[in-house]
Structure 1
Amino acid sequence: MPPASGGRSKRAISVATIATFVMSGCANAPSIGVLGAYFPDWLFCIVAGVVLTVVIFLILGRLQADHLMRPSAVVYPTLVTLLALAVWLLLFQH
């Protein structure tokens, strides 16, 4: 059998380099302590986004302006995402 070609070692080096960059993002996870348990920041942002979207939904329903938010299957998930990202930018940007 011939010795392994240089292509395999280059592939191994490139995989190791990519793995290093990917794993470096896992070094410091932002979290908040609640009663001794740690929860990630994004969890609070999603909950806040859902709560704020429900509030907006109720306000629009009370004003009978909910017809402006059509199609609902697209608008409300997008609104949850927008509000969750806004909460993250306001409260958890380090």
Structure 2
Amino acid sequence: MKLVTVILLGILAALQYRLWLGKNSLPDYWQLQKEVAHQRESNEKLARRNALLYADIKNLHAGEDALEERARNEIGLIKKGEVFFRIVPMKPPTPEDSSGD
């Protein structure tokens, strides 16, 4: 009877060791769960970004308004007959400018 108890306690100890410290143990499982959650968040952000890009592509294919807006904002194009004004903010004077040297 003592031998069976010792054997069963040994098996229990071995299983507990594997559960807490061995390969694919509970801490490893918890770490992988955190990584999966982080990856899901990243995938959701990328899916939203892709949806915006697909909507932008659809707008560019559908009409000239979106294409014209993009050309004006990103490339700086203007229509024929329009006048382009560029307003440059004044640079505030620095102490070196007023030294008089």
TM-score tier after normalising by the smaller chain length: 0.3 to 0.5
Which structure's residues are more often strand, by fraction? 1
Q: Output the TM-score relative to the length of structure 1.
A: 0.39
Where relative contact order (Cα < 8 A, 6+ residues apart) is larger, the structure is: 1
Q: Output the TM-score relative to the length of structure 2.
A: 0.37
